[in-house]
Amino acid sequence: MTSETGGEGRSCVHTGWSRTRPPVVARTAGVLSVFVSFVVCLTVYVQNVRSDEPQAAETSESTAVPGSQPKFRTELIRGQIIWLAEALKSQFGISTVPEAAENSLAILTGDGQLLPIVENLRGRAFRKDERLRGKDMEILTRRYDQQPLIQVLRVYQLDQGKRYEVDYWCDVCAIVMYETGPCACCQDDNRLRQRLVEDDDAAGAERVNGDGKTDK
């Protein structure tokens, strides 16, 4: 410890460690930072796992009247995701204003059905990632009796007779996400992931094959 005298006889006392962070404080701050990051990643993981359950997905949004549940059916629809305005022009000759070009998305089935999709978290993936548009897809959906839009629950890509479940994956945090972009935890870019589906994990859903036929 050293002492210095100021301009009016005032003395200043300096300690050898006062200008640097004590080692214990630095270690505590480091441990706290790691703990907070772990909690954030765990929270994101749990939220994503829960949102991957089709029967429980977005139940709060699907309840129109307190205490009631609107009628819906679960369907597995084959087709391609395209911009609604583009499909209206190509399939029906209906023109739209320029600003509507990329307003809404729809599934175009093989037999010409045009099914607008709800742009929830799963639906927005087709807006953000052009790699998913214009490809042969099979979409697990929820359709309500009193409105025409369909809710996307799961996404599969069809390629050479095989079926792949599509989502996004962070290699750093090992958590699944449903649209392209930075990881909700570490902020690194996630990657498009395609996993081969061997078994029928959509058993019980009605199948709209795109040829005018519906199977169960």
In this structure, are residues 133 and 82 in contact, taking their beta carbons and an 8 Å threshold? yes
Q: Answer yes or no: is pLDDT of 105 > 80.
A: yes
Going by DSSP bridges, is the β-strand pair 72-83/206-208 parallel, antiparallel, or unpaired?
Answer: parallel
Q: Under the phi-then-psi rule, with left for phi > 0, alpha for psi from -120 to 50, and beta for the rest, what region is 130? A: alpha
Question: What are the pLDDT digits (tens) for 191-215?
Answer: 999 999 987 666 566 777 655 455 5
* Band of pLDDT at residue 185, cut at 50, 70 and 90: very high
Average pLDDT along the chain: 78
Question: What are the pLDDT digits (tens) for 148-163?
Answer: 999 999 999 999 999 9
pLDDT of residue 11: 46
Q: Answer yes or no: is pLDDT of 142 > 90.
A: yes
Backbone angles phi, psi at 186, to 5 degrees: -90, -10
Q: Answer yes or no: is pLDDT of 173 > 70.
A: yes
pLDDT of residue 195: 96
**DSSP labels for the chain?**
-EEEE-TTS-EEEE-TTTTS--HHHHHHHHHHHHHHHHHHHHHHHHHHHHHT-GGGTTTTTT-SSTT----EEEEEEEEEEEEHHHHHHHHH-----GGGTTT-EEEE-TTS-EEEB--SHHHHHHHH-GGGTTS-EEEEEEEETT-S-EEEEEEEEEETTEEEEEEEEETTTTEEESSSSB-TTT--B-EEEEEE--S-TTTTSEEE-SSS-EE-
Q: Answer yes or no: is pLDDT of 133 > 60.
A: yes
Which pair of tokens denotes residue 71? 């009628």
In this structure, are residues 153 and 140 in contact, taking their beta carbons and an 8 Å threshold? yes
Q: Between 17 and 119, where is the model more confident?
A: 119
Mean pLDDT of 160-187: 95
Question: What are the pLDDT digits (tens) for 14-45?
Answer: 444 445 555 555 556 555 555 555 555 655 55
Q: Between 57 and 123, where is the model more confident?
A: 123
